[in-house]
Structure 1
Amino acid sequence: MTMASNAWNALSDKQLTVQNIHKSLDSIKDDLWVAAACVDRIVDDATVQRVLLEIALERTTPALRRSQAAAAPDDESDGSSEAADEAPLKRDALVSHFNRLPADARLCAIRAVILDRLDCLNTFVEICQAPPEDTEELDSTSDAWDDDDPWTESAQPQIREPVEPPVPLSAFLTDELARSALLLASRQWFSALGVIFERHATILWPYRMAVLNSIPEHTHPLGYRDLLPALDLSTNLEKRITANPWRASPDWSETPDVRAALAASGHPPDISPTISDLSFDLRKDPLSCDELSEWYKNRIQRIISSTGLIDIALAVVQHAAPQSVPGLDEMGEELSLLARLVYDAPQADDDDDDDWTLDRWYSMDPITVVRAYLAHSDPETLAKDIWRLVMPYLFVLESRAERAGTPDPAIRTRILYDYILNAPLEIAVAVFEASKPILPTAQRIIQNDEDMARLALACLYGSNSLDEWPIMNRIFECLPAWDITRDDEQEDAADMTVVSLGTFVTPSTTRPRCTPSDLLIFFQPLPLSSLSRALDILDVHLESGEILSRWSVPAPLRWFLQSNSNAPDQRSWANRMARRAGGSEDKLNTLDDWEWLLEDMLKLSGTGDSGLRGAFGLLSQDEILQIYLTGLLSTGNFNFAKTIIKSPQNKLSLSSEAIEDICLTCSRELYDNASSGNYTIGEMKLAYECLDVPPPSARLQCEREFIEATSRLSSFNVMSGPGTAISPIEIRLTKDRLSLVSRVLSTNNDAYKHTEVILDLVHKLGLRNNVVAEVKTLAMLADTALQAEDFLRAYETSERMVETVLALRSSYIDVDNPEIQEASEVCWVACFQLGRQPEFEDVGKKLSLLGRALELCPPDKLHDVLTAWRRLETEDIEAREERSTYRQGKSRKLGGVTLNAATSLRARLQDFHMPSPPLLNTPDAAALASRTFRSVAANFPFSVATRGRSQASHPEAERSQSGSRRREGEEIATQATRVFSKGIGWLIGADDE
């Protein structure tokens, strides 16, 4: 035995063959050693393993018989195994036998293990003949193809090659069956699972749910439909698995009494019937009806949440229905609808929003579901998608409401109408085209004509679209037409409805925008006559909308309702149409385009064949023509304007005065918008040329000159602020135009030298016949020349100013006229200012100016002017006397005559001495005169400045020129006497008055 055992131990598992086994073990007489040796060897070769198990089983048979005999009653035992099985077991006798013969106890325990392994071996062999699901389906497909192939030889049977299961034989025999079943389930060997459950139902029953849960969620239930739990309607519990074990009854060594006896004797069988290291929720008892339904629901939830395969989840429900599982009808219904959304509805190519779960589906309200069904439908397939996707869903909702005891017949139309109202027009038009009244009622999506009209009105008037007029017309063409004769009362009611609708669609603080759903509520109670009238109005509004869109001023359709009774709104839009149309790049490039625009504007202001007014129906034809001409002129197309005005067809039937007013208005508008005052460029050029459109007139000439004056002011670089040139609009808004001249003189050093240019500027600023303005301008010129110390030009300008004032005084009988008073005031102050200027050395001219001041000043200023005159005259006499003392080489006679003449002149002047007010005795009478001038001319746009020097320098300057002045002494004395006499005469005349 030692040699045989050594030979057996020397053989490895791979070297074991049937011959080696028999050669090594047949010669050994020790049954226990042989049986134990066979049990210890586990190989992956089924044939070798079967031989080992059969030898071990054979070696355990004698011990089995001895044990049976020991346990059987003496009087009933005949030595046969059948008698022992039927005889009552005496456990104490069997325990005593096992204690007496431990080898028999060990062999009985080994026998139980061997029988279990033989059953598993038979199962494994059968599993090898049951391929996994995918292989089986492939084979069946191949068979079907071969059956249809006429060239296949039907006499040759198909031989299925055994497939190696994922569990090797050695592991299958030693590991727990439940663990092997879990592995096969995860590998989708469903036929193998069926074999295991059939052959070992008693062992695997508690693990059935764990095995089913191990099947991958993405697996189609068709493969494991026979494994799905079913309901036994007779017991209302889970149906048990139909068992078909390899042995109809257990062996004697596997009976409970034997196992107990072996355990009591200390030789328990080496079998583990349960899986102690797997934490599963074991279900030893059949599931109840509710538990079974809950398991299916959980399985479906896991499938959807982990894979998103709605079709697989739906298939599970469909396969559960034949198993009589309750509570899945509604879920199956939901899954069927969800499957339509996921698999049948159109999908976007790059749609990432595909995470569909039952929770998400349950959270969606019906309108959201409908929108999801049609989210990616195009107008061509929308109607078809509604019939195959939306309508079944709506029917399900209706049937559910009926089953719940709350029938809602309008649920389908309500949800469908809600979708249409909120859909884009390009989508809505497909629904309306699939609902035309000419189609059979059963084929129409919207089957009620009045509802169709209400929906169309709500969709169109609730839309913000500005460029979908062809689509809107397509919708209108689908609407029903009713031949209704309305009386006056119905007509008025329909018109009032439209007025009310205009108010309804007008935005408010509580409702910034009127939605299509709001409009449907408004249209819902309208009778058929009002609906028909509303469709007629819609026709007019659609035509008007197309016209406005053609000229680049589109308006939403509801604007026509809002402006139906609002003339300012219509006028505003007409102005936009006339002006913005000209700004379009592709339109109004020819005269025909402008004439087309005029025709469309007149059409919008007229009344159509239906008696309904257009978009500008509240505006008269003349107003439309004026707006049109204004728009034409604002674009600068003056040649077109002239052609249309002078056209023989007289399309622009406006009066000459109206045309002139429009041209003036447009010119001023262009002027005000100009950024530069140069009338050779930009808007200012257009403003200037616009005045050439109508025939010439005084008003046009005045405006033309004002533009020329503006351009000249711009050329002088007049500033409105530091570094900012004055704008044309600032020039027009300047109330005192002379202030502009003052700016020119103050900012341009040589401007005062161009008297005629400055006067022409004043004339063109709108002051052509304003003598007072001319006098003020000359005064400003004289003052500017004075400040520039150009005394001769200041004197000449002052002389011209005096002549102008005298001419003005001579043209009025009433010298108290405000204009005469204002001009005189400016003139005498200017003369007084220059006449008392110490730096002006021409005493004769200064005396002349002071004489003019005496002539023109008011009586209360005579003392001031006369004092200045007297001071100037005294200084002149003193200067001449001083010069005479320096004359040498002259005859005494001539000197005496001169002295006598001077003495005589002084005496004469002293005779006319008049007492002066104390104010005139102040040291600076010149400052007083300056203040007086500023007080009088406070409202003038210019200022008169005093350039005074110290009087101490004056005699010295005169002495430097004493030689030339001596020769003029007599002439100066004569002139001073004459001026003084004239001034005194005027003074007397003034006192007389």
Structure 2
Amino acid sequence: MSQTSASPSTVWEDLHDAQVTPETVSAVLASIDDDVWVAAACVDRLLDDTTTQQTLLLHGISRTDSTTHRCKEIVSTEQPKFDALLPHFQSQPADAHLLQLRSILLQRLDRLNTYVEMEKVSTGMVSLEDSVDEEIEEWEDDPWADGASSSTKPTPQIKSYAKLPIPLSQFLMNDIATSASDLASLQYFAAVRTLFAKHASEVWPWRLSVLDAVPEHAEPSAYRDILPTFDFAENSEQKWPEDPWRLDADFSELPQVRALLADVEPVFVANESHLSINPRQDEPLSAITLHAWYANRVDKVIASTGIIDAALAIVQHGASQGIPRLDELGEDLSLLSRLVYDTHSTNDDDWTLSSWKAMTPEETVHAYLSNSTPEDLAQDLSRLVMPYLYVLEARTERAGNPDPELANRMLYDFVLSTPLEYAAAVFEASKPTLPAAQRVLKSDEDTARLALARLYGSDSLDEWPTMSRIFECMPAWDTAAESETDEEAADTTISSLGSFVTPTTSRPKASPKDLLTFFKPLTIQSLSRALDILDIHLESGEILARWSVPAPLRWFLQSNDDEKEQRAWANRMARRAGGSFDPLKKQEDWDWLLEDMLKLTETSESGLRGAFGLLPREEVVSIFFSGLLSTGRLDIARKMLHGPHPKIQLSAQTVEDICLRCSTELYDNASSGNYKMGDMKLAYDCLGVPQISDRIRREQEFIEATSRISSFNVMSRPGIPISPIEIRLTKDRLSLVSRVLSSNSDAYKHTEVMIELCHKLGFRDDVSATVKVLAMLAETALQAEDFARAYENTQQMVTTVRELQTSQGDVMDDFKLREAIEVCWIACFQLGRQPEYSELENKMTLLGQSLDLCPADKIHDVLTAWRRLQKEDILAREERLSKGLNDGLQSARPLDPTGGFLPRTMASSLRARLHGLHMPSPPLLNTPDATALATRTFKSVASNFPFSIGHRAQSLASDDRGAHSEGSWRDAEVSSQASRALSKGIGWLLGADDE
């Protein structure tokens, strides 16, 4: 079928939306007589072109005009008015359907007008006050006026404006609240304002959801007109002013008509809002709820964007609209805004209102100044911190708890806790010479108290220039009339502070804030005195720091009355400073050090002592001299002590004491005993500084002895050489000789070296020690079976003892001599009875010497050993006689009563001792074996030897242990025969008759 033959309704239905124009609406729909079908067609089709859609809506409305007029007449003539419509609708359902369609078309026409208005305001061409549709105003008649016919009215033309992000067709179908939310999310705030004005009743319940759809990053000034406002009269949220397109509702929109239509057929209702961001809110919000909404909006904006200024603008707008309790929130945001934007922040801190409120005031102050430099600190305090502190003061006043000292207290706490460099910047901005308005710290007294507390509470050891800068900012008061009471108060405070700053278990460290409490009570005069003391301490601190022994400023308080502490620091200064010198530097450095040390002992004109004020000047010089010696600069020490212009004035005894003490210290710290190198060399050379004395010579010899012991590789433990400190701490130094002999197989061969070592170990005048050393040498030679050296050492012992007897006189009154004699006779006895020693004549001599020197109760033991030798001697002489070889020997020396030979002098001496004892000969025949007796005797004496007795002496005592070897039996037999022969000899020595 061709298009010309098709019915108008078919033609309309076949038209695409793009083909519909105002002309096709008039041409096609006007030719259709069915009003219901035409009105329904107008409702059914939604277009995006505003002009065509307007034409379509107006045409549809015009087709319902007659029905509306007819229903109005029925209502106006019948009683009750609207009840008469029900039977009419039941008999004429088309009229009911037309009224239904009319209400829909009218609502869509309102939305169309709103859409056009939103396009206009979105382009910025007209304002909301000019939001009357110009095209509709140009219409000749009201399109929904009673009795009007659309066919007689021209179709108005709507101008094209900027397109909205929501198509017209979608806008006509969606509920208004959803469209408002979409437009708000896309920041079409002018369009949203139009919706609020033209469709207030529909959007009002969902206003909070619409506002929450506004992006957090949106500029608040762009949407401030849609933010909630406050009605002071109602004490609640202010409702929006309404400006609907139609002030009066159409007949088809009357509630009574709507109710009747609902009874006749299902009512077509526009889409309801499905916004779920916030619940429906029909009633105005209370003041508390409004404040909560603004605070929540601020949190969202800051958390999402971090743009504090945007949040602040929202709060400022709310406050300008009268929202209660936003002032404090505005203050917080304003202060937070300064923290974010006005500080010298270089990092991306995520500041939020919650984190701001969680900070303590102290943390906030430090946050404001966290990125400040010393150069701009004072300015930041004035423009950032002080406004914040004033806000805190204002809040305490509003809360009914005024705290007028809050700002000063917070500022003082910052100064006391900030690094010294920053504190110096604050003090420099608070100089008394500056105008009061420009000063950070306004009070001169508080400035002085803060400086004292901050400096004495500092742990710094290297910021003396900064501390001096702080001191230079202090006020200078005229205290000419200063009283002794004020001085005593300041001195008492300083003394008390010394105890207070001393660490304890309960308070390891006193903070500057704690120290401030001590200075608060001081008057101006006392503060001036305290500053004078501070000046002395600062100067002393700079001196100590110059010589690498810095002390915190509070140390000067602690050591003010502590002589021991001052002495310890002086020693540290003398030693550490000298150790830091370049070895190539000249004497001037040491002169400077001595000058500074002496300067610290001086007392100022005001009676204030320096850091070493409790130490006598001479003691400080001694400490300096000791430190000089410890560094090894002995050449400088000699120049300063004995040069043409001596710097050190000390007595000879004091110099000697210091040198000995320093040498001992170096000795004890030496790792090697070689006095040609290291600390031991310094210890030895140090003794060359004073004049030679006995004490100096003894210490030099001891160092030489130490070096000699070390050269023999004496070990402390396996693989570990003996250290100098071990040598010094050895109680029995003779045992060191024994250790040398035991650790070196050839050491015993150097008799003179060992004796010299004994002398240098401190036994030069101790003959007993020399005898003991010779005994050690003899014993060691005996163990090595070097009998010749053993005999030589033994004879040297005897000679030494004889000389000592001659010089001492009565030997029984001298313990040392008795001890030497005891060691000597035992050594002679040991060597004389050795079977392996083949020199019979030497052995007889040794036993004779032992017999001459031993105590009376040991003579029996020695004679018993001698009997064995006599037998050997007799056998040897008989053998020589039988060969005719002993005639010359008999004439060479006297024959003893038993047939043996004794030296003439020894025989006479022995005879005299035996006569003095009145000893009869028979008991000797019944005595135990002489070897066993001698062994027991030697053990009791040798227990005092500082060396070990070898295996040979022990083997000779086997009879005491009950051994029954063949050798023991043979010895017993020989002993028995020798006893009988020896008894005759003793009798002859005593002058008894020969039986």
What's the TM-score, normalizing by structure 2?
Answer: 0.87
1:127 matched residue in structure 2: 118
1:476 matched residue in structure 2: 471
1:58 aligns with 2:62: yes
Structure 1: how far apart are the matches of 2:469 and 2:721? 57
Structure 1: how far apart are the matches of 2:124 and 2:817? 123
Task: Map 1:750-769 onto structure 2 (within 5 A).
Answer: 750-769=746-765
User: Which shows bigger deviation, 376-385 or 335-344?
Assistant: 335-344
- State the Cα distance separating 1:883 from its structure 2 match: 7.5
Structure 1: how far apart are the matches of 2:900 and 2:606? 105
Compared CA separation, residues 186 and 537, structure 1 to 2 (3 A): same
1:70 matched residue in structure 2: 74
Compared CA separation, residues 387 and 266, structure 1 to 2 (3 A): same
Q: Deviations over 1:490-544 (max 9, x none)?
A: 4444333322222222222322211111111011112222211111111000000
Return the letter of the residue paired with 2:834: Q
Structure 2: how far apart are the matches of 1:764 and 1:731? 13
SS of alignment partner, residue 921 of structure 1: coil
1:397 aligns with 2:392: yes
333, 337, 340: which one aligns with 1:339: 337
Structure 2: how far apart are the matches of 1:918 and 1:43? 159
SS of alignment partner, residue 495 of structure 2: helix
Q: Deviations over 1:824-872 (max 9, x none)?
A: 0000000000000111011110000000001100001010001111122
- State the Cα distance separating 1:717 from its structure 2 match: 0.6
Compared CA separation, residues 983 and 616, structure 1 to 2 (3 A): farther
1:926 matched residue in structure 2: 931
2:869 matched residue in structure 1: 872
> Is 1:570–1:616's contact at 8 Å kept on the other side of the alignment?
yes
Q: Deviations over 1:4-60 (max 9, x none)?
A: 333222222223233333343232222222221221111222222222212212222
2:857 matched residue in structure 1: 860
Return the letter of the residue paired with 2:718: P
> Is 2:674–2:707's contact at 8 Å kept on the other side of the alignment?
yes
716, 738, 741: which one aligns with 1:745: 741
1:5 matched residue in structure 2: 9
SS of alignment partner, residue 224 of structure 1: helix
SS of alignment partner, residue 720 of structure 1: strand
1:311 matched residue in structure 2: 309
- State the Cα distance separating 1:935 from its structure 2 match: 1.4
Q: Deviations over 1:390-442 (max 9, x none)?
A: 11122222223333333322222112111111111111111111111111222
Return the letter of the residue paired with 2:559: S
Report how many residues are paired.
918
1:373 matched residue in structure 2: 368
Q: Structure 2 regions of 5+ residues with no counterpart?
A: 128-158, 903-910, 915-919, 957-964, 972-977
2:30 matched residue in structure 1: 26
1:500 aligns with 2:496: yes
Q: Deviations over 1:95-147 (max 9, x none)?
A: 222222222211111111111111111111121223389999xxxxxxxxxxx
SS of alignment partner, residue 222 of structure 1: helix
> Is 2:639–2:646's contact at 8 Å kept on the other side of the alignment?
no
Task: Map 1:31-42 onto structure 2 (within 5 A).
Answer: 31-42=35-46
1:288 matched residue in structure 2: 286
Return the letter of the residue paired with 2:568: S
Return the letter of the residue paired with 2:840: V
Q: Structure 1 regions of 5+ residues with no counterpart?
A: 75-87, 137-159, 958-972, 989-993
1:388 aligns with 2:392: no
SS of alignment partner, residue 716 of structure 2: strand
1:792 matched residue in structure 2: 788
> Is 1:833–1:946's contact at 8 Å kept on the other side of the alignment?
no
SS of alignment partner, residue 344 of structure 2: coil
Task: Map 1:215-226 onto structure 2 (within 5 A).
Answer: 215-226=214-225
SS of alignment partner, residue 210 of structure 1: helix
Structure 2: how far apart are the matches of 1:733 and 1:983? 54
Compared CA separation, residues 655 and 200, structure 1 to 2 (3 A): same
Compared CA separation, residues 919 and 436, structure 1 to 2 (3 A): farther
Structure 2: how far apart are the matches of 1:205 and 1:833? 130
Compared CA separation, residues 903 and 597, structure 1 to 2 (3 A): closer
Q: Deviations over 1:245-290 (max 9, x none)?
A: 1122121111112211211111423434x32574742121222333
Structure 1: how far apart are the matches of 2:12 and 2:927? 160
1:189 aligns with 2:194: no
Structure 1: how far apart are the matches of 2:925 and 2:486? 95
Compared CA separation, residues 758 and 393, structure 1 to 2 (3 A): same
Q: Deviations over 1:67-118 (max 9, x none)?
A: 33333306xxxxxxxxxxxxx7733321222222222211111111111111
1:850 matched residue in structure 2: 847
Compared CA separation, residues 938 and 446, structure 1 to 2 (3 A): same
Return the letter of the residue paired with 2:56: L
User: Which shows bigger deviation, 355-364 or 115-124?
Assistant: 355-364
Structure 2: how far apart are the matches of 1:555 and 1:904? 90
1:603 matched residue in structure 2: 599
Return the letter of the residue paired with 2:104: V
Identity of paired residues, percent?
Answer: 55
Structure 2: how far apart are the matches of 1:24 and 1:984? 183
Compared CA separation, residues 279 and 625, structure 1 to 2 (3 A): closer
> Is 1:854–1:983's contact at 8 Å kept on the other side of the alignment?
no
- State the Cα distance separating 1:480 from its structure 2 match: 0.8
1:101 aligns with 2:92: yes
> Is 2:737–2:754's contact at 8 Å kept on the other side of the alignment?
yes
1:617 aligns with 2:610: no
> Is 2:921–2:986's contact at 8 Å kept on the other side of the alignment?
no
> Is 2:120–2:126's contact at 8 Å kept on the other side of the alignment?
no
CA RMSD between the two structures: 3.2
2:686 matched residue in structure 1: 690
> Is 2:664–2:683's contact at 8 Å kept on the other side of the alignment?
yes
Compared CA separation, residues 244 and 496, structure 1 to 2 (3 A): closer
User: Which shows bigger deviation, 692-701 or 438-447?
Assistant: 692-701
Q: Deviations over 1:288-343 (max 9, x none)?
A: 33333332233223333444333222211210122122222222222222222222
Compared CA separation, residues 854 and 161, structure 1 to 2 (3 A): farther
User: Which shows bigger deviation, 115-124 or 508-517?
Assistant: 508-517
2:18 matched residue in structure 1: 14
Structure 2: how far apart are the matches of 1:455 and 1:281? 59
User: Which shows bigger deviation, 46-55 or 853-862?
Assistant: 46-55
SS of alignment partner, residue 669 of structure 1: helix
Return the letter of the residue paired with 1:385: D
2:779 matched residue in structure 1: 783
1:944 aligns with 2:949: yes
Structure 2: how far apart are the matches of 1:661 and 1:840? 53
Compared CA separation, residues 487 and 36, structure 1 to 2 (3 A): closer
> Is 2:291–2:326's contact at 8 Å kept on the other side of the alignment?
yes
SS of alignment partner, residue 939 of structure 1: coil
1:249 matched residue in structure 2: 248
1:914 matched residue in structure 2: 921
Structure 1: how far apart are the matches of 2:815 and 2:832? 25
User: Which shows bigger deviation, 334-343 or 785-794?
Assistant: 334-343
- State the Cα distance separating 1:64 from its structure 2 match: 2.2
SS of alignment partner, residue 283 of structure 1: coil
Structure 2: how far apart are the matches of 1:795 and 1:437? 97
Return the letter of the residue paired with 1:313: A
SS of alignment partner, residue 947 of structure 1: helix
- State the Cα distance separating 1:548 from its structure 2 match: 0.2
2:416 matched residue in structure 1: 421
> Is 2:896–2:985's contact at 8 Å kept on the other side of the alignment?
no
1:437 matched residue in structure 2: 432
User: Which shows bigger deviation, 850-859 or 285-294?
Assistant: 285-294
> Is 1:454–1:520's contact at 8 Å kept on the other side of the alignment?
yes
1:630 aligns with 2:626: yes
